[in-house]
């Protein structure tokens, strides 16, 4: 079968996880459609890479497509507005962006700017996040919602926000927080806006299902909620209880869980309204999933519902319960972060080498020689007897001979030369078996097992722990796609290794292609042959949520260079680079772990000066070496290749 870009699209599932933002052009380059239409701007990522290189910006880089960020904000808000109108729902929709998803100032500012017409607000979970949130000029109707455990300073900051005229809602997680908030509000003479987080019995679905249910970390039980109401009535603050909140956890995979939670939460809201509590806001929390693998399934890296289904279920279920209970419709709030931020960002890394299990250059080792061990003769016979009709038999025999060789070597029976011959013959046999099996009747499981054994490690210039932490920490699947050559069939089954000195610094789980599911995760990814002298770039996509802030400095590899891209339909390339933010230098990451670059350079200079005095180094050479050391301190932490 002739290969084309449609086959590539199916192989990497681009159309499914890309949700219209990504496509392949006629050159075989991966492109970004910022408004999801071919008639709009089409940004060739290869052109972006070329311009990055022209600006002498080192790889790896984070590329942020700000138009995608804006598009996600607009799409979600428009969808809620559309369904609310269709349902004749009396309340409005107010979105708040959880700052913890991506605290980068440029990202938050872009989201708030795009959300200004929709009164978009912020959700914070710490004093640091609240300090940042209070500095933003939000609209009069926008909300600032504070979640998480709080101390006195946190409460004072929230009340400062009320003094500033902001709609800061303090969500009560523990009853003791309410007592402290009320005491401070009286002291400062500021009326608070209060929310309560309910601990629903409905449990979430996916990796973060523990965020909900009876044993969740946060939230109040029904008896505790009634205790809150009594306390507020006693202090004449019942009218200050403005918001009911619940949270199912990030990346909810199953729409049935959302239906159940909204039903339970809606009933709780209605009952509170019927006893006279004037709650205005119904906060469904976060959880709107991202289909990272494009499978549209219950896989932890996917979701089995669409945006419109998610919105319809929230609006229509809430309306039905409110109408049945004869209470006013509330304003709907959601803390959607992952779905807004994930698509806009990707990591581009250059491949600088490869490791193969059968790598060797000395073919003379394959020649027969006097006195070679009988195991070498046997393995050579196995290789020569291989044909399409005896694949499984030969595979079993070759595996057995290799095991016998290892045992014999440990006992000192065979030489290094004989061991080398057996290993070369073994890997050649497996390669030939794989080639024959793909044109024969071998099972997919057998072929996949061979691919895993023969996988080439592509060495990529990045750190998994800094830029794709979730792939290591929670087995999150991220789409990985070559940037160029997508009109050619990829012929190499590979895994990805980063540049950290850690065996876990790798990616060996990949999406399985169109229609994949949790049982079909691939352990290899098809990539192209690396051509000498030709750069080969890989993109890790949907990295805009959590990865930027949760990455660590393992091996002292720091944050990446960032390039911010905006679409421009009048530009020949359909884009321009609006801003470049430099990543960490070596000096930066050393300072994080309490090293002073000045002290380090001084100590090295003193040592070199001693060698000069001992006449082991010429003075001119000593100056050069000192300058080189100091330049390395100022350099990017990643490879220059």
Q: Are 374 and 412 found together in one domain?
A: yes
Split into its structural domains, the chain has a count of 3
Residue 367 sits in the same domain as residue 430: yes
CB neighbour list of residue 115: distance below 8 Å, 6 or more residues apart: 73, 77, 95, 97
In a domain, 569, yes or no: no
Band of pLDDT at residue 548, cut at 50, 70 and 90? confident
Give 364's DSSP letter: G
Average pLDDT over residues 317-332: 98
Cβ atoms < 10 Å from Cβ of 93: 22
440 and 305 within one domain: no
Task: Give the number of other CB atoms < 10 A from CB of residue 330.
Answer: 24
How far apart CA 254 and CA 287 sit, in angstroms, is: 10
145 in the same domain as 117: yes
- Under DSSP, is residue 329 helix (H, G, I), strand (E, B) or coil? coil
Does residue 629 have a pLDDT over 90? yes
In terms of domains, do 280 and 419 share one? no
Q: What is the CATH number of the domain that holds 378?
A: 1.20.58.930
Q: Are residues 237 and 192 part of one domain? A: yes
> Distance (Å, rounded) from C-alpha 288 to C-alpha 255?
9
- For residues 141 and 86, membership in a common domain is answered with yes
Using DSSP's 3-state secondary structure scheme, residue 238 falls into helix
Beta bridge partners of 94: 333
Tell whether 181 and 217 lie within a shared domain: yes
Of the two residues 439 and 263, the one the predictor is more confident about is 263
Q: Classify residue 515: in a domain, yes or no.
A: no
**Do 248 and 372 share a domain, yes or no?**
no
pLDDT digits (tens, 9 = 90+) for 124-148: 999 999 999 999 999 899 999 999 9
CATH at 106: 3.20.20.10
Inside any domain, residue 506: no
To which residue do tokens 């050559």 refer? 485
Domain end (from 425, 451, 477): 451
Question: pTM higher than 0.85 for the full model?
Answer: yes
| Residue 575 placed within a domain | no
pLDDT at 212 over 60: no
**C-alpha span between 295 and 282 (Å, rounded):** 31
Instruction: Please report whether residue 332 resides in a domain.
Output: yes
Last residue of a domain, one of 451, 480, 512: 451
Map residue 221 onto helix, strand or coil. coil
Classify residue 97: in a domain, yes or no. Answer: yes
Mean pLDDT of 553-561: 94
Query: Could you report the per-residue pLDDT of 581-615, keeping only the tens digit for each?
Result: 999 999 999 999 999 999 999 999 999 999 999 99
Is residue 226 located within the same domain as residue 372? no
- The rounded percent of the chain whose pLDDT value lies above 90 is 81
The tens digit of pLDDT for each residue in 367-415 reads 788 888 999 999 999 999 999 889 999 999 999 999 999 999 999 999 9
pLDDT for the residue 210: 53
Q: Provide mean pLDDT across the span 328-345.
A: 97
Q: Which of 50-64, 285-299, 431-445 has the lowest average pLDDT?
A: 431-445
Examine the domain organization and report whether 317 and 383 are in the same domain.
Answer: no
- Has residue 30 been placed in a domain? no
- The answer to whether residues 331 and 274 belong to one domain is yes
Domain extent at residue 616: 588-634
Residue at which a domain ends, from 424, 451, 478? 451
The answer to whether residue 530 is domain-embedded is no
Distance CA 599, CA 621 (A): 21
């Amino acid at each position: 079968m002739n290969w084309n870009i449609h086959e590539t699209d199916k192989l990497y599932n681009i159309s499914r996880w890309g949700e219209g933002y990504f496509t392949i052009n006629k050159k075989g380059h991966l492109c970004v459609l910022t408004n999801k239409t071919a008639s709009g701007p089409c940004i060739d990522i290869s052109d972006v890479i070329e311009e990055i290189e022209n600006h002498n910006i080192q790889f790896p880089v984070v590329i942020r497509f700000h138009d995608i960020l804006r598009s996600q904000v607009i799409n979600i808000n428009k969808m809620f507005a559309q369904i609310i109108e269709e349902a004749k729902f009396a309340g409005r929709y107010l979105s708040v962006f959880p700052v913890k998803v991506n605290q980068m100032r440029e990202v938050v500012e872009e989201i708030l700017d795009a959300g200004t017409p929709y009164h978009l607000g912020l959700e914070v979970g710490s004093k640091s996040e609240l300090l940042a949130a209070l500095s933003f000029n939000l609209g009069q109707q926008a909300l600032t919602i504070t979640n998480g455990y709080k101390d006195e300073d946190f409460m004072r900051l929230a009340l400062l926000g009320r003094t500033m005229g902001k709609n800061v809602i303090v969500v009560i997680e523990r009853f003791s927080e309410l007592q402290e908030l009320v005491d401070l509000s009286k002291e400062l003479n500021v009326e608070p806006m209060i929310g309560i987080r309910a601990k629903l019995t409905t449990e979430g679905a996916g990796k973060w299902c523990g965020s909900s249910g009876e044993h969740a970390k946060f939230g109040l039980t029904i008896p505790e909620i009634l205790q809150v109401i009594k306390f507020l009535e006693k202090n004449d603050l019942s009218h200050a209880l403005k918001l009911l909140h619940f949270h199912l956890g990030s990346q909810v995979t199953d729409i049935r869980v959302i239906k159940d939670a909204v039903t339970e939460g809606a009933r709780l809201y209605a009952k509170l309204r019927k006893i006279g509590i004037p709650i205005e806001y119904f906060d469904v929390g976060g959880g709107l999933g991202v289909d990272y693998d494009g499978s549209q399934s219950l896989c932890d890296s996917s979701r089995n519902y669409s945006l419109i289904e998610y919105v319809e279920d929230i609006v229509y279920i809430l309306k039905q319960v409110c109408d049945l209970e004869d209470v006013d419709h509330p304003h709907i709030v959601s803390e959607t972060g992952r779905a807004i931020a994930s698509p806009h960002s990707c990591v581009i890394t250059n491949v600088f080498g490869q490791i193969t299990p059968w790598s060797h250059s000395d073919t003379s080792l394959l020649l027969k020689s006097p006195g070679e061990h009988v195991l070498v003769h046997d393995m050579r016979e196995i290789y020569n007897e291989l044909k399409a009709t005896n694949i499984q038999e030969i595979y079993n025999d070759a595996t057995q001979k290799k095991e016998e060789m290892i045992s014999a070597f440990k006992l000192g029976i065979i030489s290094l030369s004989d061991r080398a011959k057996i290993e070369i013959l073994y890997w050649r046999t497996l390669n030939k078996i794989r080639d024959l099996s793909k044109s024969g009747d071998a099972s997919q499981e057998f072929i996949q097992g061979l691919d895993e054994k023969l996988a080439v490690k592509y060495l990529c210039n990045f750190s998994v722990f800094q830029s794709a932490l979730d792939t290591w920490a929670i087995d999150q699947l991220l789409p990985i796609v070559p940037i160029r050559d997508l009109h050619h069939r990829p012929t190499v089954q590979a895994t990805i290794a980063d540049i950290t000195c850690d065996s876990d610094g790798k990616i060996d789980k990949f999406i399985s292609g169109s229609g994949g599911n949790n049982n079909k995760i691939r352990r290899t990814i098809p990539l192209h042959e690396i051509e000498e002298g030709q750069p080969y770039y890989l993109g890790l996509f949907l990295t805009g949520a959590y990865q930027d802030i949760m990455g660590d400095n393992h091996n002292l590899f720091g944050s990446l260079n960032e390039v911010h891209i905006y679409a421009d339909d009048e530009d020949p390339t359909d884009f321009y680079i609006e801003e470049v933010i430099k990543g960490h230098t070596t000096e930066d990451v050393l300072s994080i772990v309490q090293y002073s670059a000045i002290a380090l350079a001084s100590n090295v200079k003193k040592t070199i000066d001693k060698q000069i005095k001992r006449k082991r180094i010429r003075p001119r050479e000593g100056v050069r070496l000192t300058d080189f050391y100091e330049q390395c301190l100022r350099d990017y932490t990643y490879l220059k290749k």
